[in-house]
């Protein structure tokens, strides 16, 4: 019969010098077992206590603690598997050795491994989808040339939902349209609360200073008198200024309407890229 490969771990402190298992993955059928051999430090004398967090030291009943008398500078005993798959540890004074009781059949694999893994993966994906990241579709050309019609992008929902950061000038944001909160819009933040914004002669001015906007499709062909952005509101514009219904038409975006910040384009693959804030990357 082929000899089972031993798994050996060095123990660098305490009473133990070396521990070996003929297997650390035991079938969880209530009958399978592995033999444990532990080489002791010279000062180890008297019965030594051990404890299990899973499995048993006895085949017929659940025994989680034992005391073993050393013989020849070592101790030797067996660990029996439980009837359900699980992980556990063999514990002693200064000792913590991992044990893995693996599925013994297809039913156990499905019930205790695959199905729970898939369940938590789905729950995790839903949590991420609901609170952290979301996918959005660009239905129009109002953000050209930065975002094209039919682009798909991923947005960060976490930062605005939990107020981890405030919107900055240059951020491309998704928000609930103030005139119809059932509809999502996407525009670029241009002016922040307390700032004065004006559009004159094809130039956007914030607090009287012109913005450098090499990201727009073309200069706006309209003027807008100076407006001061109220607290808790944001002034947003589309990058395709002359084909965008935005704050110069319908007003400001309340902070509570913000859904997320656009992070990167993932579709089509030829356009996959990060979406950068031009005012932050310029510094």
Q: Which active-site residues does the annotation give?
A: 142, 187
Q: Are strands 133-137 and 152-156 parallel, antiparallel or unpaired?
A: antiparallel
Cβ atoms of residues 246 and 143 within 8 Å: no
* Structure token digits, residue 76: 């030797």
Bridge partner residues of 199 (DSSP): 204, 224
DSSP letter for each residue of 160-200: HHTTSS---TT-EEEEE-TT-TTSEEEEEEEE-TT-EEEEE
Tokens representing residue 146 in the block: 């930065």
Tell me the two tokens of residue 268: 């089509």
Helix (H) and strand (E) counts in the chain: 5, 21
Place of tokens 């004065």: 196
3-class state of residue 127 by DSSP = helix
Rounded distance, CA 204 to CA 209, Å? 8
189 neighbors 236 (Cβ within 8 angstroms): yes
In contact, 192 and 167? CB cutoff 8 Å: yes
What gap in Å lies between CA 247 and CA 238, rounded to an integer?
Answer: 9
In Å, what is the CA distance from 49 to each residue of 18, 21, 67, 143, 237? 16, 18, 4, 70, 72
């Amino acid at each position: 019969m082929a000899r089972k490969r031993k798994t050996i771990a060095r123990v660098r402190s305490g009473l133990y010098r070396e521990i070996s298992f003929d297997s650390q993955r035991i079938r969880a059928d209530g009958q399978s077992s592995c033999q444990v051999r532990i080489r002791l430090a010279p000062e180890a004398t008297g019965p030594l206590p051990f404890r299990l967090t899973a499995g048993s030291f006895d085949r017929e009943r659940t025994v989680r603690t034992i005391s073993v008398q050393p013989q020849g500078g070592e101790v030797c005993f067996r660990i029996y598997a439980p009837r359900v798959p699980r992980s556990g540890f063999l514990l002693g004074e200064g000792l913590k050795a991992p044990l893995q009781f693996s599925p013994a059949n297809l039913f156990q694999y499905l019930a205790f491994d695959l199905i729970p893994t898939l369940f938590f993966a789905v729950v995790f994906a839903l949590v991420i989808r609901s609170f952290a990241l979301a996918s959005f579709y660009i239905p129009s050309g109002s953000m050209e040339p930065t975002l094209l019609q039919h682009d798909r992008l991923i947005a960060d929902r976490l930062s605005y939902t939990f107020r981890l950061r405030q919107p900055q000038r240059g951020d491309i944001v998704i928000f609930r349209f103030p005139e119809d909160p059932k509809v999502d819009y996407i525009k670029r933040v241009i002016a922040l609360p307390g700032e004065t914004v004006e559009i004159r002669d094809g130039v956007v001015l914030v607090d009287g200073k012109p913005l450098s906007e090499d990201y727009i499709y073309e200069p706006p062909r309209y003027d807008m008198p100076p407006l001061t952005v109220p607290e808790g509101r944001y002034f947003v514009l589309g990058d395709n200024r002359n084909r965008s219904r935005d704050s110069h038409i319908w007003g400001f975006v309340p902070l509570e309407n913000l859904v997320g910040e656009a992070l990167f384009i993932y579709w089509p693959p030829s356009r996959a890229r990060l979406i950068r804030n031009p005012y932050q990357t310029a510094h």
